[in-house]
Amino acid sequence: MTVGQRARMMKETRAKLLRAARAAFAEKGYAAASMDELTAAAGLTRGALYHNFGDKKGLLRAVIAQLDAEMVAKARAARDRAATPWLGFLEECVAYIELALEPEIQRIMLLDGPAVLGDPSQWPEQTACLRTTTETIQTLIESGLLRPVDAEAAARLINGAALDAALWVAAADEPRAVLPRAVDAFRCLSSGLLKTDG
């Protein structure tokens, strides 16, 4: 077997495990998802799971990273449709909150993820998101749209508000009823960053 074939097989194995885990975690939840069942669904062994992800928790981290990348792409698409940089920034944040209505994201990322992996604000994906938000806020400050506040502090508060809003929506008995309340309050809070005349 060539190095290229081996690499391709490893990539295919990881993809099969991720697909099976995503389906199992979304349908049954992390705790009820059996490693034997999900490896069988992928047509693989437990050894393949351990080799690629270490354990079930490592597999959850990989599924969350995959979901996060998809969420970022959807949120950025919302940003790119906006008429101005400020509205784009706001729409990107709101899109993130709205994604809490998607059952797969709700269950895996916002309910099981924090229960198993701890505080989402400490996940690697959130660190990258914080960096991007800080850069965006700094650019908006430099363009004169936002008040001259500490960009990292503002980014931490904005990201924290969006994350907490998404967690609230996901955990609510009636997520669709909570969403507009969360989005309205988030927009109101965020608008405090805007520079006012005088």
CB 41 within 8 A of CB 23: yes
Contacts 24+ apart (CB under 8 A), 103-106: 103/26, 104/22, 104/26, 104/67, 105/67, 105/71, 105/170, 106/169, 106/170, 106/175
Mean pLDDT check: name the lowest of 90-104, 120-134, 162-176, 179-193: 120-134
143 strand-pairing partners: none
Domains of the chain: 1-54 (1.10.10), 64-193 (1.10.357.10)
DSSP letter, residue 145: S
Residue 114 backbone phi and psi in degrees, to 5? -65, -35
pLDDT digits (tens, 9 = 90+) for 64-98: 999 999 999 999 999 999 999 999 999 999 999 99
Predicted local confidence at residue 29, as pLDDT: 94
The tokens for 66 are 């995959």
pLDDT digits (tens, 9 = 90+) for 15-61: 999 999 999 999 999 999 988 888 898 888 888 888 889 999 999 99
